[in-house]
Chains A and B, each alone.
Chain A
Amino acid sequence: MMNTANIAPSLNSTAAGSKLLREYAVTEAFDEMLDRDLQPRPHYEQLYRRLLTMPVEEFRRRKTMTDLFMRQDGVGFTVYQNDEGIERIWPMDPVPRIIPAREWAHIEAGLVQRITALNLFLKDIYHEQYILRDRVIDPTLIYSGTHFRRELRGAEVPRGIYIHVCGSDLIRDAEGRYLVLEDNCRTPSGVSYMLQNRQVLKRVAPQFFHQYDVRPTEDYPAALLDVLRHIAPPTADNPTVVVLSPGIFNSAYFEHSFLAQRMGVELVEGRDLVMDQNRVFMRTTRGLKRVDVIYRRIDDDFLDPLVFRSDSMLGVPGLVNAYRAGHVSLANSIGTGIADDKGIYPFVPDIIRYYLQQDAILPNVETYLPQVPSHLSHVLENLDKLVVKTVNESGGYGMLIGPASTAEQREKFAREMKARPRDFIAQPTIQLSTHPTFVDGHLEGRHVDLRPFVLCGEKITVTPGALTRVALPKGSLVVNSSQGGGSKDTWVLASD
């Protein structure tokens, strides 16, 4: 059922009215700005009024300035082909996404609970494995998980914390409930866009901020540095922290250098580091300097060719040994991938209950497990309505989106699921919430998600802000950057 936005006379303050919102339509999905009667939600009212009377050309001008600033700052990612880099700016839409204080408090509590439970889970499965003995999780799920690192069994990690930086992806269902779509506990990215978007929007559209008390997000790099220093080896007096990056050919390179700069620490690549006496050093103009903490943005697989992939040129041979000996600290710890494994995801509410004796504050998306026969038959019967994901994949690939698939694609997935049921999970196609986004000269609803960032060090910090990702093609539910997505500045209000 579609309603088109007839501008309510009471809100149409100028005779001209703006064409921006003239044809805005809401669908069955939850719209962040407008309710079913096309009235703005209370926290959007100021912004709505402003957009109602803003001429399209003025908005377009701001969008152009946004693109220009993003380009000048080099905010984006590079796709390399034949040594020539094609730079793609990840576009930001100037209409901010707004979250009132009350909603944020709920999200924050849920995220704190989740990361606490996942850290306890990791500590357990890399040590006594009580959760397996108590038969809450099937051991096969752990041992067949590609990201379960046997090399870390029994090893002590600094301060007992495994996940220091976590980005969980949240979506809203048609009733506006926040659900967790997935956790990202390995090398979550996107926080640089969260920070940069705010800077750009403040320059491009300062009037939007008028009468809103938006909580600042500036503190994230300092908070991250606090976490990194907190986990330094106890013998390090004034710990040297570095960010370890795969280098400029990595698509997230902008973020690596951005964070290193904002924290005031060196950005290193594997080739800048050497091992000596089981300690890590970096090559400087004045000789070797010891490194105590590494914020590594390299996946476990590529971290140490002596332990993991031997063909990796990105890592440091011997790093894992130094880590296990406690001579260098890593954030995130090695082996956190099992916590965001899609096979484990359906059991996170059970994990929360097991370690914290609490119900999950933020529910999961309803998930079917083909390894359970009744689930499998339901999934096979409803393949055209479900989203099927391969365990161990990320980035939006290895996925079947039922409603958008061909019979042939569904056939293929059905065959695979019957053959290897443990390798899949299935979820109903949730209509992600929509948000007004500038498309072709006016605002249209586009699906969005929410990625807040949680830091776990001496205390757990959830920065009041997030990365809102937008799927730019009409109707698309896939928000990942590599497939035509964009982002929005996300405002967490200090009040409701």
Chain B
Amino acid sequence: MLSRVADALFWMSRYLERAEQAARLLDVASQLDLDLHGVVASSHDLHWRAVADVMQCAPPADGGSPGVWLPATLTFDADNPCSILSCVKRARNNARSIRGSISSDMWRELNKLYWLLNDPDFRVRIQDSPHDLYSAVELSAQIFQGVCDATVARDEGWHFIQLGKYLERADKTLRILEVKGRQLLGRNPLEPSVTNLHWGSVLKSCLAFQAYQRIYINRVEPERVVALLLLSPDFPHSVCFCLQQASEALRAVGNPSEQPPKAWRLLGRSVSELIFADPEHIELNTTMPLIGAALDRCSQASSAVQEQYFLM
């Protein structure tokens, strides 16, 4: 397939996943806000700052409470490249430039989302109920991937879409674990119920809350959250699962040169570290370097993919 088209499919998928992640993070944070309301002040901003760090969103010059500026800047700020609006716009622009290579159902779904976000009536409605915005974005992204799965043959194009999605998802899950890990380690331990709220929200940010309960049938414990989200080969938002899927996509796309592609080697290393780690012996302070290494390799793998397949 045309390199330019592969590039566009990869980024369309990546930006849409990013938009979905941003929406979910904001949704979970605003729910957490209501739970933490009236609790110790110092923990109040933690979850908002976490979102800002995960999305790599810098605070504005005039500062202020992140609970106020973050939702605003991460939803409809067209100048902020991390905002939901910017991500959807970029996803759509990529899709538009390769319309012939995606199914019309996929295009329609993405286009509908774009026009919804640009509808002035919608923007007014969601001021009172921001959850409507977040769920609309999440749902639309999920429908998009569902339609993609149902209408696209498992060809090269499909694999690039998976590659973009899973690299982005792995990246975000890693960042969530890293940011939350740093925040909640090395602080005076918070009240157990507060800690659990925070880690519970980590699970919710990765759609893993119910999966966790089915597996562990108990209170939320940080080590187990990390075990699930980092090491599980079965759960769709876990880093291990995502990197395996990304590797698989790379393998399926094939190898234009003789050497095993650099991206594949990078991802493969992280996958084996994660697969062979012991889920029973997770300690936050030993696991952090693992997370950091995986994050680096994700970025490097993404650049390697660009070089190998898109910049011929």
Interface pair B2/A284, CB less than 8 Å apart:
yes
Interchain CA distance A52-B284 in the complex, whole Å: 75
Q: A248-B97, A261-B100, A284-B1 are in contact. Are A74 and B107 (CB under 8 A)?
A: yes
B5 cross-chain contacts in A, Cβ below 8 A: 266
B108 cross-chain contacts in A, Cβ below 8 A: 72-73
A138 interfacial by beta-carbon distance below 8 Å = no
Interface pair A285/B96, CB less than 8 Å apart:
no
A243 cross-chain contacts in B, Cβ below 8 A: 100
Interchain CA distance A271-B312 in the complex, whole Å: 12
In-complex Cβ contact of A268 among B2, B96, B107, B309 (8 A): B2
Cβ proximity bits B99-125 to A, threshold 8 Å, 1 near / 0 not: 111001001100110010000000000
Q: A72-B108, A72-B111, A266-B2 are in contact. Are A285 and B156 (CB under 8 A)?
A: yes
B107 cross-chain contacts in A, Cβ below 8 A: 73-74
B219 interfacial by beta-carbon distance below 8 Å = no
**Nearest Cβ in chain B — how far from A78, in angstroms?**
9
Residue among B100, B108, B156, B256 with most chain A CB within 10 A = B100
Q: A257-B100, A260-B100, A283-B312 are in contact. Are A74 and B111 (CB under 8 A)?
A: yes
A286 cross-chain contacts in B, Cβ below 8 A: 254, 256
A290 interfacial by beta-carbon distance below 8 Å = no
Identify which of residues 20-35 in chain A touch chain B, using a CB-to-CB cut-off of 8 Å: none
Interface pair B2/A283, CB less than 8 Å apart:
yes
B269 interfacial by beta-carbon distance below 8 Å = no
Across the interface, name the chain B residue whose C-beta is closest to A254: B99
Across the interface, name the chain A residue whose C-beta is closest to B112: A72
Interchain CA distance A459-B6 in the complex, whole Å: 37
B194 interfacial by beta-carbon distance below 8 Å = no
Interface pair B1/A267, CB less than 8 Å apart:
no
A272 interfacial by beta-carbon distance below 8 Å = yes
Interface pair A267/B100, CB less than 8 Å apart:
yes
B93 cross-chain contacts in A, Cβ below 8 A: 248
Identify which of residues 252-290 in chain A touch chain B, using a CB-to-CB cut-off of 8 Å: 254, 257-258, 260-261, 266-269, 271-272, 282-287
A375 interfacial by beta-carbon distance below 8 Å = no
Contact size range, A? 20 to 34
A71 interfacial by beta-carbon distance below 8 Å = yes
B4 interfacial by beta-carbon distance below 8 Å = yes
Q: A71-B115, A73-B108, A283-B312 are in contact. Are A271 and B4 (CB under 8 A)?
A: yes
Across the interface, name the chain B residue whose C-beta is closest to A245: B100
Interface pair B4/A283, CB less than 8 Å apart:
yes
B57 interfacial by beta-carbon distance below 8 Å = no
B253 interfacial by beta-carbon distance below 8 Å = yes
Identify which of residues 238-284 in chain B touch chain A, using a CB-to-CB cut-off of 8 Å: 253-254, 256
B65 interfacial by beta-carbon distance below 8 Å = no
A74 cross-chain contacts in B, Cβ below 8 A: 96, 99, 107, 111
In-complex Cβ contact of B2 among A72, A248, A258, A272 (8 A): A272
B3 interfacial by beta-carbon distance below 8 Å = yes
A266 cross-chain contacts in B, Cβ below 8 A: 1-2, 5, 100
Interface pair B96/A284, CB less than 8 Å apart:
no
- List 7 other contacts, CB 8 Å, given A73-B107, A258-B99: A72-B112, A73-B111, A74-B96, A266-B100, A282-B2, A284-B312, A286-B256
Residues of A within 8 A of B (CB): 71-74, 243, 247-248, 254, 257-258, 260-261, 266-269, 271-272, 282-287
Q: List 27 A-B contacts (CB under 8 A).
A: A71-B111, A72-B108, A73-B107, A73-B108, A74-B99, A247-B97, A248-B96, A257-B98, A257-B99, A258-B99, A258-B100, A261-B104, A266-B5, A266-B100, A267-B98, A267-B101, A271-B4, A272-B3, A272-B4, A282-B2, A284-B1, A284-B312, A285-B2, A285-B256, A285-B309, A285-B310, A286-B254
Residues of B within 8 A of A (CB): 1-6, 93, 96-101, 104, 107-108, 111-112, 115, 156, 253-254, 256, 309-310, 312
Nearest first, the 9 closest Cβ-Cβ pairs linking A and B are: A261-B100, A257-B99, A260-B100, A257-B100, A267-B100, A285-B309, A283-B312, A283-B3, A285-B6
